[in-house]
Each structure stands twice: as C-alpha cells, then as structure tokens.
C-alpha cells in the first residue's frame, strides 16, 4: 500500500508514471482513492501524467489479484453502508413531504446479495432516484435552492472579509463579520425547518435571506 502525497503548499505537483508491465510480477495496481471517488474499479494506467493540488493524496494498492479483489469488496461494502445512511436521511426528508418512496425502498431492500460492484451500482441508482424525487417537489426544491444561494453569498462574504484582513483592515473586517454570523445562523435554522416539512411556509423567509446576504456581500466588497 502506497500513500502518494503532494507536500507542495504553493502550487500543483506534477508526476510522470511509467511502470513496465513485466515489472509487476503477476501483481496488479489500483488507485483506491479513485475507486472511492468515482466508484469505478479498473487497474491503474501504467503510463500516465498526474497533477496533484497542494495537500492532495492518493492511496495506491500493489498486490496479487486475489488481495486486490478482497480490498475492492471491503471498500465497496463500506461505501454501500455509507449510502444506506445517506438514503435513510433523505428518506426522512421525502416522507416529511408525503412523497411516495415505496419503489426506492424496495430497491434498497434488495441490495446486498449480489456482487459488490453490482450492489454499489444499484445503491447509486437508488440514491439518484431519491434525489430526483426530492427535487421534483417544488416545496423542497425552491426553499432549498434559496438557502443554497444564501449560503453561497455568505461564503463569498467570508472570502471578501479574508481579503480585507490581508489588506490591513482588521477592525472593519471584525465589525462586518459580526453581521455575517446571524445570517449563517438563520440559514442553518431554515435548513432544519425545511427538513421538518415546512419548505413552502419558509420559502418567503429563504428568499428574503438571499436578498439580505447579497446586500451585505456587496457592502463588504465595496470596502475591500
């Protein structure tokens, strides 16, 4: 098992890989971190150019085919377990709005008896269908979308405040930053309200939060 880490904190690190196939001696190479991210099980390209951002890491497995298969199955099972938790979480949201989740529930219940990769793909399909079902509900999608826009503006406020500090306007940054905190707190509260089935009721409040967040962002940017 190899852990490849980019320790360049300032820029991209470049790495050229060229492994002769006859040097493997019957072993295989898999990038496990790619499998976790993309959920596709394929041997690593033996000749490639890799660029890694600061702090990025990759986990590489070099082993015999049977060991690689066991690692694949264990990782797939962990991913499936994590997906089940996320689906249960989203199921609660869907049920709060009386959405029909029976087909997805049946799909999830049938997962677990097949090949690890087949189970993983089936869990992906179940998760995607549940997300589609949730965002097909205007009561959820519209209020959630508004909260996401507000959160984006709040994050932009944070970035602008950081630039303000870098330019020496520390006291002003602190003063304006105290006005950002209540907006972030309100966004969190609205997310909870939406999960409780009150998306339609909170939509006007969510849209007002977007306006107030964008207004404060413009004010902060004008001072940078």
- Note the pLDDT tens digit of each residue in 3-49: 989 988 888 988 888 999 888 999 999 999 999 999 999 999 999 99
Alpha-carbon gap, residue 81 to 79, rounded angstroms = 5
Tell me, yes or no, whether 142 and 207 share the same domain. yes
The residue from 40, 63, 86 where one domain ends is 63
**Close Cβ partners of 15 (under 8 Å, ≥ 6 residues apart):** 4, 49, 50, 51, 52
Tell me, yes or no, whether 173 and 215 share the same domain. yes
Alpha-carbon gap, residue 78 to 124, rounded angstroms = 13
C-alpha pair distances (Å), 129 with each of 84, 99, 199: 14, 12, 20
Tell me, yes or no, whether 6 and 39 share the same domain. yes
Tell me, yes or no, whether 155 and 98 share the same domain. no
Tell me, yes or no, whether 154 and 181 share the same domain. yes
- What is the predicted pLDDT for the residue at 224? 86
Tell me, yes or no, whether 148 and 122 share the same domain. no
Query: What are 142-175's pLDDT values in tens digits?
Result: 999 999 999 999 999 999 999 999 999 999 999 9
Residue 113 has pLDDT above 90, yes or no: no
Tell me, yes or no, whether 153 and 219 share the same domain. yes
Tell me, yes or no, whether 163 and 128 share the same domain. no
C-alpha pair distances (Å), 186 with each of 151, 196, 203: 10, 15, 13
Question: How many residues comprise the chain?
Answer: 224
Question: In whole angstroms, what separates CA 41 from the centre of its chain?
Answer: 20
Among residues 190, 212, 189, which one has the least CA distance to residue 201?
Answer: 190
Tell me, yes or no, whether 96 and 56 share the same domain. no
Tell me, yes or no, whether 144 and 208 share the same domain. yes
The residue from 45, 63, 81 where one domain ends is 63
The residue from 15, 33, 63 where one domain ends is 63
Query: What are 47-72's pLDDT values in tens digits?
Result: 999 899 998 999 999 999 999 999 99
pTM of the model: 0.78
Range of the structural domain that residue 33 is part of = 2-63
- What is the predicted pLDDT for the residue at 211? 98
193 lies in a domain?
yes
Among residues 114, 115, 117, 90, which one has the least CA distance to residue 104?
Answer: 90
Tell me, yes or no, whether 103 and 121 share the same domain. yes
68 lies in a domain?
no
- Per the structure, the count of domains in the chain is 3
Tell me, yes or no, whether 214 and 166 share the same domain. yes
């Amino acid at each position: 098992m190899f852990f490849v880490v980019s320790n360049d904190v300032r820029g991209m690190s470049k790495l050229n890989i060229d492994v002769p196939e006859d040097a493997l001696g019957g072993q295989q190479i898999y990038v496990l971190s790619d499998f976790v991210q993309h959920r596709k099980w394929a041997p690593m390209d033996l000749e490639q150019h890799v660029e890694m951002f600061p702090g990025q890491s990759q986990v590489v497995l070099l082993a015999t085919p049977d060991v690689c298969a066991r690692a694949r199955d264990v990782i797939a099972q962990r991913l499936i377990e994590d997906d089940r938790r996320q689906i249960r979480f989203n199921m609660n949201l869907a049920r709060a709005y009386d959405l029909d989740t029976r087909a997805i529930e049946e799909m999830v219940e049938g997962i677990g008896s097949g090949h690890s990769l087949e189970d993983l793909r089936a869990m992906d399909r179940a998760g995607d269908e549940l997300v589609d079902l949730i965002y097909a509900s205007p009561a959820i999608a519209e209020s959630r979308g508004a909260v996401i826009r507000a959160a984006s503006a709040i994050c932009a406020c944070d970035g602008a405040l950081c630039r303000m500090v870098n330019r020496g306007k520390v006291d002003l940054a602190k003063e304006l930053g105290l006005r950002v905190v209540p907006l972030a707190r309100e966004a969190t509260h609205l997310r909870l309200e939406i999960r409780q089935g009150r998306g339609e009721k909170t939509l006007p409040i969510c849209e007002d939060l977007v306006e107030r967040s964008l207004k404060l962002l413009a004010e902060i940017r004008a001072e940078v």
